[in-house]
């Protein structure tokens, strides 16, 4: 079933509910004539028709009442294309956060904050009632790079790279994120490390995990190469991991792992052992999604 706008709702006066109109114009600041307009995030709010039933469109404060999709079918950073208008989703409903019997007139103001979808304007234009909405899912692009001479030549099987992939699939399975995972194995070669990282960043990869080359050995090039191409580092991520595991295993303090940023790409350099990879991932995952959103101007 196609996704469509079944009602466009605006209000030029202070108050909660909005009145239905046949068409409206969207600019970078939101819908012209609507009180929600401005440079703030979430200029456009959406609710599914099913979410507000039996209430009338606009009575819950939403700008667009839509039909044809489960409200939980959207992900953060997905795009919605409506003719010449393009929106980016910056907030989605919290699954199970509101009971089905809350849709009563006296509780209408509770529906939008819990079931609503909020989006910011990427490009403006004219909206019309009945227009089709094209949902463009946002793939979370993650690349895993194993840096090891011996794994590259087949002297031993790479276990850390596949372990990262398995961990990520399991973690993101219950979420709305859609993954685009890739992996490579390369030798301990500075030029090759730099080339692949640079290429991945140019391809707008969201997250790069490297494994191997984080120690103080003569061929541990990974960290230095990452630092050379990065804009910033986030020291607290890896510092906290070293402190946590270094108390029981002092050798963990010899790791030079970093969390670095290049544009909107996050780079995590992990040690080469599967045990260390698992320890690092369990801590990294606690802040990783929030970092993604912050880099896109969301969640500050």
Cα–Cα separations (whole angstroms), residue 259 to 26, 199, 208, 230, 283: 39, 18, 10, 10, 12
How far apart CA 216 and CA 237 sit, in angstroms, is 20
Question: How many angstroms separate the CA atoms of 271 and 252, rounded?
Answer: 10
Q: What is the pLDDT of residue 275?
A: 94
Going from the C-alpha of 236 to that of each of 239, 240, 241, 277, 281, the distances in angstroms are 5, 6, 9, 17, 15
Q: Which pLDDT value is given to residue 69? A: 76
**Rounded to whole angstroms, how far apart are CA atoms 292 and 266?**
8
Write out the chain's pLDDT in tens, 300 residues. Answer: 689 999 999 998 877 789 999 999 999 989 999 987 665 667 899 999 988 888 999 999 999 999 987 767 899 999 999 999 999 999 988 755 445 554 454 477 888 888 899 999 999 999 999 999 999 999 999 999 999 999 999 999 999 999 999 999 999 999 889 999 999 999 999 999 999 999 999 999 999 999 999 999 999 999 999 999 999 999 999 999 999 999 899 998 999 999 999 999 999 999 999 999 999 999 999 999 999 999 999 866
Structural domains of the chain ordered from first start: 3-136 (2.40.33.20), 139-295 (3.40.980.10)
Cis peptide before 31 (omega within 30 of 0): no
């Amino acid at each position: 079933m196609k996704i469509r706008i079944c009602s466009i709702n605006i209000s030029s006066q202070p108050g909660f509910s909005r009145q239905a109109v046949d068409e409206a114009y969207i600019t970078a600041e939101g819908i012209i004539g609507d009180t929600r307009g401005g440079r703030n995030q979430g200029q456009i709010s959406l609710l599914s028709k099913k979410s507000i039933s039996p209430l009338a469109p606009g009575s819950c404060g939403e700008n667009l009442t839509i039909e044809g999709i489960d409200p939980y079918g959207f992900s953060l950073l997905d795009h919605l294309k409506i003719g010449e208008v393009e929106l980016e989703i910056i907030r989605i409903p919290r699954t199970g956060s509101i009971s089905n019997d809350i849709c009563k007139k006296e509780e209408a103001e509770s529906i939008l904050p819990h079931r609503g979808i909020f989006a910011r304007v990427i490009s403006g234009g004219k909206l019309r009632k009945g227009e089709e909405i094209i949902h463009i899912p946002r793939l979370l692009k993650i690349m895993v790079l194993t840096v090891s001479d011996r794994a590259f030549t087949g002297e031993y099987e790479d276990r850390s790279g596949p372990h990262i992939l398995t961990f990520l699939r399991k973690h993101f399975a219950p979420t709305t994120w859609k993954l685009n995972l890739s992996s490579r194995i390369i030798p301990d070669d500075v030029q090759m490390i730099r080339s692949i990282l640079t290429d991945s960043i140019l391809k707008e990869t969201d997250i790069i995990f490297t494994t191997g080359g984080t120690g103080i050995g003569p061929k541990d090039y990974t960290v230095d190469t990452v630092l050379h191409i990065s804009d910033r580092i986030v020291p607290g991520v890896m510092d906290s991991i070293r402190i946590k595991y270094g108390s029981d295993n002092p050798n963990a303090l010899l790791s030079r792992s970093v969390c670095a940023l290049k544009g909107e790409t996050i780079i995590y350099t992990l040690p080469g052992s599967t045990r260390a990879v698992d320890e690092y991932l369990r801590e990294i995952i606690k802040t990783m999604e929030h970092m993604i959103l912050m880099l896109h101007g969301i969640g500050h």
